[in-house]
Structure 1
Amino acid sequence: MSAEYATFGLAPAMRTGGVLANGDRQVHRDFIDFVVDGRPLLFRLPDLDAVSPLACDLPPAVLTAQVRALLLETGAPLAGGRHIIYGCPECADLACGAVTAVIENDGDDVVWRDFVRQSDERVDLELNGCPGTGPFRFHGEEYRRALRALLDGGAAERSRVLLIGPRVAGPARLAAALRTIGIGADITQDATDVLAEELRGYGAVVFGDAVGERERAGVRDSFERAGVEVAYVDGPAPVVPLLVAQVEQALDRNPPQRRRLVRLTAADGTADLEVGATCRVGLTTYRLDRLHRVHIREVFDGMLATGRHRIALGPRATRGEAHVVARTSAGVLVAAVAS
């Protein structure tokens, strides 16, 4: 078959977890995404909530088996030479729906073709095909080099967060919420004596309200001396679902060109949102009234095209101390509502 060459690469990605407005939990998953012609392949499927088979929480033997299958060193897991490219982030069951494709060698090249959404053994390209996705022809050497790097320990680490503050109240509730969605969380009051090897396991640091500036500076100094770059969540709002969203935002270290949500600001009853790739977006506001009661309101849920958008939040949703959260399956942004 003929097809123009596309570049192939791999990049860390995540399916964002969270404590949703209705109380449900959405599991956080770190995985390695396929990058085709410099952009995540997942971006070509704007309404898909899924992860690749290269999940970072897989046992080494299982991850190795997934890589070797993509290298065509073992048989395809599905009939017709089909491989799961993206699957359910909760259970990876084909019955939940997956995007599959035929992967085959063509001389020294590797070709991915006939992308389809599949939920059982039957494949109907006409009914369930993915228009505009593939076929892709990759240079074999580039393709195999990228995947074999994973066999040499090149997979991304799982997300882990260090909470600074007393082991009571806010930090404890946040740690519990993070653990329920699959993010490791530890609590300490002082990171001075933590070994550098342990500090390297964290992707973000959250400071509790009771932590003073001197203690915060000491924590930053500990990470700098260990040569560890982390994101800091400073002065978080006292609402657990909102805190979880702030942590998810801090853990996303992808450059703007690999993000679906690029920028979010909110003021005067409206939210201004920049979208890097067409996707389904949900907007939720969190407001504290004068009695410190929490009011949660879902204000938008729909598809947004690439570009900038202005969305009305309404005066009731932003009165007092308020934040807005923009969420897709692959990203979260949090912004305080300016008075």
Structure 2
Amino acid sequence: MTSEQAKKFIAGYPGAKNFVKPSHLEDLSPLLECHVEAIVCRKDEFHDISGAYMPRKETLDKFAQACGISYNPTAETTRKEGSSCYVGSAQGMVMGPDGKQIMGPICEYEFDVEVRLEELKLKGKTAWNNGSKSTRPYTDQELAAERIQLMKVGRMRANTGARNRATIAILGMQTGFKNLFDKNASDHTTVTFLFSRIIVNAKNEMVLNRMLDNIAGPTQALFGSAPVAAISGRTDTAELPMRNATPAGDDFDDFPADPPADDERVARLVAAISEWTLSDDQRIAKRAQAIIDRGESNPDVLEPSLALLCYLGNGGRTGANVCIQALDDAPDVANLKALVEKVNKAKAS
């Protein structure tokens, strides 16, 4: 969208939390454009920590997607320090108004299992006695079980924490929001956040052509450029006559016209001649193939030619060379019919 369209979109959300970058609303290169997105979040998508609402991981993921945040793979690591401490690191990056990637700070998050166990000891284990909530000290066995669970998720928690910090850092967002929701509001109460990102302007002709080149490049490298095939057809724009059209206003449906009888006859004769192309006698197979190849469609030529092929294929010897010569010469209907009559007389005798 253009800068004016983006400002108009933002004006439609007067009570939203606005995290649109001012630099995204300036005049950009024709190859780029600004995209503004509104994200609606519920109260239960935040952690309520003493009145400060901190976005959950899935909420931060929605924010990151709306801003076009990606993560630097070379800076994303999780290392183990000591026997029970995991440290994750991550770095976010977004496309800037000039089309270059803007790198955020490298953020770290430490997850120490021993520290978490000490916190559990201080808080105690929640217990219920006759419907009333109370706390009691952890037993040694319970602490051992908790330690195993923390060790299982330690590496994942360190990586997730680092990513969340990297997302918040590049967004320029505070960790928590005070008074974001009323304390007595239901979990379905919503608040809107506005985010912006720079995207490639696919409507630009230069960008579009470049995208098409990138798509077609690998295919052409593998298989080469496809030849342009000319499609033959009618060159005039005259309307083709309708066949078997019924007069307007009648109560009968139009049916396609029956094919001419000659078409069926030609198809039958061509099919019969095609069978002789498989003959073991190369003289017969060669003549049959020649008839098919030249696209003969005159039934007055096909019918006597088929009769001569059948005569030769069934072992006819009288006048065989004359029959072959007639099949090789240019089609002569009178000559072919005369030969068929002679062949029939020879077979009868």
TM over 0.5, yes or no?
no
- If asked which structure has higher relative contact order (CA below 8 Å, sep 6+), I would say 2
TM-score, normalised relative to structure 2: 0.17
Structure with more of its chain in strand, by fraction? 1
TM-score (norm 1): 0.18
Larger Rg: 2
